[in-house]
Amino acid sequence: MIVKMKKMTLLCTRASRERTLDVLRDLGVVHLQHIQPPEGEGLEDARNLVAHLQRAREVLPKHPHVKPSGKTPHEVVKSVWELIHRKQALTEQIEVLDMNVRYYEPFGDFSPETVRALQADGISVKLYKTPIRDIPIAPDGTQLIELSRDRSSAFLALIGQGELVLDAEEVALPSVSLDGMKKQQLELQADLEQVAEALSSFAGDYAAVDNLATEAEDHVRYLEARNGMGRTEEVTYLRGFFPAEQEAALRETGAERGWAVMVEDPSAEDDVPTLLRNPKWVSPIKAVFDMIGVIPGYKELDVSALFLIFLSIFFAFLIGDAGYGLLFIGLTLFGKFKTKGNVAAQPALNLLFLMSTCCVVFGVLTGNYFGIVLESLPAPLSGLSSNYLTGKIAGGWNADLAASHVMFVCFAIGTLHLTLAHGWNLLRKINSWSALTDLGWLCSTWALFSIVLQMVLYMELPAWVAAAQMPLLGTGVVLIIVSLLLTKSYFGLVTLALDVINNFVDIISYVRLYAVGAASLAIAQAFNGMAMDIGFSGFGAIGAACILFAGHALNIILGAMGVMVHGIRLNTLEFSGHAGVEWAGTHFNPFKKNSETL
């Protein structure tokens, strides 16, 4: 749920502002809102120091078991920055040499010193590059030699006495030979490797540098809080937001410290930060929110639980393979073993475990194990499958019937998803006329659902359902119009027709769950067929195994991309659009030291 917030305004004397900030930082429950832009009073230097330390921390390898170098953290940072500059200089030199090698390679390897010696004796040698179609004729008394050519250009050498002129692009002589350039490249690469080894020697100092950078970041936050306070000659003040349950503690602290504290409910104009606090079983979805960088606004719905449930269902449909699901579960358990004690890694692993379990269940119901055709599965596995989802009939399995049934389930899930969005909004707005809008969209969604079944799946619906379609849709539209008029939301009347069409399209868009899953199955079966064609006897077994590994690995990667694109989209766009969630929230970021958590 979204934790209820209170707005606080705190006044203290100018002389006690640092002590006030120290106490607030120790409390760690107030999200500060700057009264004025935090600038000046050493802040710029502090920010530069943070950037300096963060960069040093970024390039240091993380090897906690390596023995520290024995240097102080500041000495380590200084040495690391010297290596960073050295690495940058070497990298730039290597890049220049790479360009020069590619530029002069078509002319072959020769000694520029020999060419210059010939020029001193009156014999001129010049290099040219020209389009193949426009190779010029050598002037009298000279010799034009074609050294090489590519698809579009010819590379030439003109030899003669005196001043030579050719109607082509002249190429200046290099300072060293091609072989010399390549030797310089090897030397620079060796120097670069030495820099990498030197950086590795400081791997044991990562924790010390990390602590130093963290302290500098805390100092910057402290200066921003101080410089962002409002002030008069004798009084300074600040504003912020805090969880409502912390009000008593803040008032008690204010009384002890002599602060003037005013607490009030946030107004409609306030940019209130969002703090999510959900049950433990919902916490895995935090990994998704952190990854895509979204959070609902303070006054929006907290859809965390529904997001988790439906993302797991979508994952099952999009991957759709029990074999893959079991593989993911194995990887999850291995990851949990390797990250034991790492609290930050657990939400993502728990999410993967939940989604993989759903994938296994759906894969078992559809009889999909690593893309093996249903007819080839052992009887115990095929017996676990759902006759409805596999299209089982008296003569075997009907693929077209199975596809129709899975698509029906997809449309039903989509309709349920959108129904929950509008139903939730309806309950929230039950005491206002705007609730009629969501009631109207509920009628529209179910009417359009039945129309989708007829138009896309050619289903024969009961007569009473078909007869109720247009009256139900019309009722929904009328309810929406009445609500828009009563709430004076006249612009909604202009876009209403388009919104109804979008509602229809949104329901159809859930067919992507079937389409992506079917494509994944087809890819798996195609690679299985290629491996079977090669066979598993003799050396062919190695090739077949490589095909299976590469094919299924590619399929898993594509499936993961599908979940990112389609599974998350259906929650953050289709569902959220109907639920009125704009993901416009600001993360609750209390003023505290980075080493502490709320």
At 393-442, the pLDDT tens digits run: 876 788 899 999 999 999 999 999 999 999 999 998 898 999 999 999 99
Locate all alpha helices (DSSP H) within 295-369, ordered by sequence. 304-319, 322-338, 346-366
Could you tell me if 243 and 5 are in contact, meaning their C-beta atoms sit under 8 angstroms apart? yes
pLDDT of 165 reads 86
Task: Evaluate if residue 194 carries a pLDDT over 60.
Answer: yes
Written as one letter, the residue type at 525 is Q
What confidence tens digit (pLDDT) does each residue in 84-97 have?
999 999 999 999 99
User: Token match 């360009």: residue?
Assistant: 99
Neighbouring C-beta atoms of residue 368, cutoff 10 Å: 29
CA distances from 492 to 355, 389, 477 (A): 38, 40, 12
In this prediction, residues 213-228 reach a mean pLDDT of: 92
Per the prediction, the chain carries an average pLDDT of 91
**Residue (of 26, 28, 32, 25) closest to 8 by Cα position:** 32
Task: Evaluate if residue 332 carries a pLDDT over 90.
Answer: yes
What confidence tens digit (pLDDT) does each residue in 438-497 have?
999 999 999 999 999 999 999 989 999 999 999 999 999 999 999 999 999 889 899 999
Residue 573 has which token pair?
């766009």
Please state the pTM of the whole predicted model.
0.80
Query: If pLDDT is split at 50, 70 and 90, which confidence band does 8 have?
Result: very high
Residue 321 has which token pair?
């393979």
pLDDT of 595 reads 57
Q: What are phi and psi of 181, to 5 degrees?
A: -60, -45
- Domains of the chain (ranges; CATH) run 5-65+207-264 (3.30.70), 110-176 (no CATH), 301-579 (no CATH)
Task: Evaluate if residue 596 carries a pLDDT over 70.
Answer: no
In this prediction, residues 315-338 reach a mean pLDDT of: 94
Written as one letter, the residue type at 511 is V
Task: Evaluate if residue 597 carries a pLDDT over 70.
Answer: no
* Rounded-to-integer distance, Cα 380 and Cα 362, Å: 16
pLDDT of 452 reads 95
* Rounded-to-integer distance, Cα 79 and Cα 95, Å: 24
In this prediction, residues 288-305 reach a mean pLDDT of: 91
Sign of CA dihedral 46, 49, 55, 57: negative
